[in-house]
Structure 1
Amino acid sequence: MSRTHLDEFVRDTINGDPGSEKGLSSEELFGLYTSWCLLTACPQESADALWQAILLRGIVPGHNTLAMTGPAAADYILSSAPGLV
């Protein structure tokens, strides 16, 4: 995965949440990434490439202080809980 691709994903969708105890899980990160790719018409990289890039950036799924933000976050949340619509 190119550094630019991951940088854009992180910049557009994730921010630090100092009050977060759990952060984002692997399922949430992957769902957020999928939504971001769909909304930006960016070709989706493989799951392995995503995990490798995330870990190289020091992001550990389930053990971080990250929160979702932006349109991809809204898309992911609504897609995950269709009863909310």
Structure 2
Amino acid sequence: MTDTQIGVFLRECVIYEEDNEQGLDLEALYGLYISWCVLGNKVPIPESAFRTSVRLNGVKHHKREGIRYYPGLRMIGDAARDYVLNSVPQEVYEVVVPPVPVLDDDEALPAAAV
């Protein structure tokens, strides 16, 4: 049953901290759920069903600037680690490779280049 799956997810992946006013937004909570499903070989439910199931499990949300968030929730566990690692943008670094000197057959590399 979907609600049971969401209940297990909530128990394993989030904790409630009363003094944590910021909490998690829907995107982060659903992303955490997807990571949990992937790690546990579970089939995730659509986001709309997820929102309903979370509400039926007693988790209240607020809206701030049109964004649904769940105050007091904080990620924990392996799924949290997986979500964070996979949601951080990969930085692109420009690698500068110095030109390789072209030598004649009888030339040797300078000592500083070896």
TM, length-normalised to structure 1: 0.86
Give the 4+ runs in structure 1 shifted more than 4 A: none
TM, length-normalised to structure 2: 0.66
How far does residue 8 in structure 1 lie from its aligned partner after superposition?
A: 1.1
- In 1, Cα distance between the equivalents of 2:51 and 2:10? 13
**Secondary structure of 1:19 counterpart:** coil
Q: Does 1:3 find its partner at 2:38? A: no
How far does residue 3 in structure 1 lie from its aligned partner after superposition?
A: 2.3
Flag the structure with higher helix content.
1
User: Residue 72 of structure 1 corresponds to which residue in structure 2?
Assistant: 79
Matched residue pairs, number?
Answer: 84
**Secondary structure of 1:15 counterpart:** strand
Task: Give the structure, 1 or 2, with the largest relative contact order (CA under 8 Å, sep 6 or more).
Answer: 1
- Which runs of 5 or more residues in structure 1 are unaligned? none
Identical amino acids, percent of aligned pairs = 35
- Which runs of 5 or more residues in structure 2 are unaligned? 62-67, 92-114
Flag the structure with higher strand content.
2
